[in-house]
Amino acid sequence: MSLSFRKKSMSLRQKGIRDIEPDEIFLDAKNLPKFDTNQFEGRLERPISRRAFVALGIVCALVFAGFFARAFVLEVVRGEYYAARSDANALHATVLFANRGVIFDRNGVKLAWNAPAASGSPVALRKYDPAPGLGNLLGYVAYPQKDSSGFYYNDDFTGIGGAEKFFNGELAGTDGKQLVESDVSGKVVSSSVVSPPSDGSDVTLSIDADITSKLYGSIASVAKQSGFTGGAGVIMDVDTGEVVAMTSFPGYDSQTMTDHTDAAAIKQMLSNKNNPFLDRVTDGLYAPGSTVKPFVALAALAENIIDPATKILSTGSITVPNPYDPSHPSVFKDWRAQGWVDMEHAIAVSSDVYFYEVGGGFEDQKGLGISLIDKYMNMFGFGEDIPNGFFSGAGGTVPSPLWKAEHFDNEDWLIGDTYHTAIGQYGWQVTPIQMARAVAAVANGGKLIAPSILAGGNPSDLTEIPGMNRSYYDIVRTGMRMDVLGGVATGLNVPYVAIAAKTGTAQIGAENQYLNSWVTGFFPYDKPKYAFALVMEQGPSTASVGGVAAIRQVLDWLSTAKPEYLKG
């Protein structure tokens, strides 16, 4: 190698240029070492330039300078202001109240709804139809409660009684939540919604509010006229179970109880000895009197106790020998001498003697006996709670030997106990809704249907009463129609609709000085659509105007105001 070549080579190395070795001249330009170029293998690394480091340093310095400046302002320049605000302000969660669902009657009339909140309150006001007689049906609500600082420690609307309580889950909806920052004076500084409220669902009842209010007014009018302390009434669709009217007298005012501002009015209702808060439709217990006779008749037919054409003589009483003292026989009186009566006429004139004999037996006439009476009364829903949440209430009592033993220190059951049970006296206790349901079963031919407070009813929720031929119901329905045409219920013999009915007068009090006046029935007679039960509570024994007069007022009003209800 010449001197000049070596000098040139050394000069190139000093400049960072490497000589090409002879064996490299023949290398292919392809990636012979098989570097993974996607992983940057086989590529020469280049150092980051000093200029990039300088630029990055300047940016970081500016960022830190900005943070420092902001911190200086917050901590030094305005430190005292923010410290005071931090001490004075409070952050808390507040409720966004959901709107409660609206309650409608079957015709779309609002019975309970919401009005704008009062000034300074986020809670909507609950408003009610002011018509009388709806209190026990609708119930009322208790508003959410807040403390002296204005914060809600109880954020629930609470339904109390009636539909407000029973449908509370559907009506209430779901409340929302927001975070609120307020200063020391309570002024809101900022707020943020965390979750929005979801309004409650509306509920449409089976009730016709107009009929219910008229029913209440009629009961109140008769109570005032004749001295009854209370009363209750029900009108029910015999096919769907829809209750189109129900009321309890005396009642309370839902608006007054919800507003809770009229202390005098609330005190008056709470101190009323006749208990306006008792829903007599579901929880009022009354001796039914002669209204049970159609059901005893059906039991006698089902058990072949008597041919319906067989007549029994009522001379005004029957006498049963006293085995313990023959000189003092037991006399069981009819309310009047009825003469010879078959089953239909016995229902029409309400013969006690007839039902003494078919109920307990007498001389040659076989009787059902208390066990069968108890069995069949249970079939028609007496002595048991209504299997529906809204109408659940008092179960009542059908007298039996077991019941007597429990309540009268193990006394024996006597034939007279059976006689009195067969005419709805002694220990009997029923509610108006139980009676209406049982009468509906007579009207529809033996289907014991669950009463419904919702529009549409429960047409599939029924029990077929076993062992009853449909002809048995025809006999009983005929007897109830005869009661209207020429029996005890002639006050319901009206020209605009054919009614079948059965009255009942139950003597109560230690000396029988009071009475309950019942009337039950259905209409139209030829094609039954509605059953009814009405009781006037604890009137004087001399009262001559009772249940028949009260339901007659309602029927007269329907004939002009809502005649569609009187059609089959």
From first to last of its 568 residues, the chain has per-residue pLDDT tens of 455 545 555 555 555 555 555 555 554 555 556 656 655 555 555 666 777 667 777 877 777 777 677 667 556 656 565 555 555 566 666 788 899 999 999 999 999 999 998 876 798 999 999 999 999 999 999 998 877 666 676 778 899 999 999 999 999 999 888 777 766 566 766 767 778 889 999 999 999 999 999 999 999 999 999 999 999 999 999 999 999 999 999 999 999 999 999 999 999 999 999 999 999 999 999 999 999 999 999 999 999 999 999 999 999 999 998 888 888 899 999 999 999 999 999 999 999 999 999 999 999 999 999 999 999 999 999 999 987 789 999 999 999 999 999 999 999 999 999 999 999 999 999 999 999 999 999 999 999 999 999 999 988 888 999 999 999 999 999 999 999 999 999 999 999 999 999 999 988 888 889 999 999 999 999 999 999 999 999 999 888 899 999 999 999 999 999 999 999 7
Lookup result for tokens 């029923």: 430
| Token output for 148 | 């002296």
SS3 annotation, 273-310: CCCCCCCHHHHCCECCHHHHHHHHHHHHHHCCCCCCCC
Residue 149 in contact with residue 230, Cβ under 8 Å?
A: no
CA–CA distances in Å: residue 106 to residues 244, 245, 454, 487: 8, 11, 8, 35
Tell me, what DSSP letter sits at residue 74? Answer: I
Residue 557 in contact with residue 499, Cβ under 8 Å?
A: no
d(CA 433, CA 396): 11
Tell me, what DSSP letter sits at residue 37? Answer: G
SS3 call for 180:
strand
| Token output for 248 | 């309890």
| Token output for 457 | 């009813």
- The boundaries of every CATH 3.40.710.10 domain in the chain are 209-566
Q: What is the CA radius of gyration of the chain?
A: 43
CB atoms inside a 10 Å sphere around CB 389: 9
User: What is the maximum span of the chain, computed from C-alpha positions, in angstroms?
Assistant: 169
State the DSSP H helix or E strand holding residue 346, giving kind and residue range, or none if neither. Answer: helix 343-349
The class (CATH top level) of 92-204 is: alpha beta
Buried b (16+ CB within 10 A) or exposed e, 491-500: bbbeeebbbb
Lookup result for tokens 């006050």: 491
d(CA 354, CA 335): 12
Residue 550 in contact with residue 534, Cβ under 8 Å?
A: yes
Lookup result for tokens 């249907």: 449
User: At 525, phi and psi to the nearest 5?
Assistant: -60, -45
| Angle at which helices 547-561 and 209-226 cross, to 10° | 150
Q: Which of 126, 191, 119, 194 is nearest to 162 (CA)?
A: 126
| Token output for 423 | 């005419």
* Whole-prediction pTM: 0.81
| Token output for 368 | 């059902």
SS3 call for 185:
coil
State the DSSP H helix or E strand holding residue 65, giving kind and residue range, or none if neither. Answer: helix 50-72
CATH architecture of 209-566: 3-Layer(aba) Sandwich (3.40)
| Angle at which helices 415-422 and 352-360 cross, to 10° | 130
Conformation bin of residue 495: beta by default, left when phi > 0, alpha when psi is -120 to 50 = alpha
Residue 501 in contact with residue 478, Cβ under 8 Å?
A: no
- The boundaries of every CATH 3.90.1310.10 domain in the chain are 92-204
- List, in order, residues 6 or more apart from 524 with CB less than 8 Å away: 497, 498, 499, 566, 567, 568
User: At 550, phi and psi to the nearest 5?
Assistant: -65, -45
DSSP string, 226-271: HT-SEEEEEEEETTT-BEEEEEEES---HHHHHH---HHHHHHHHH
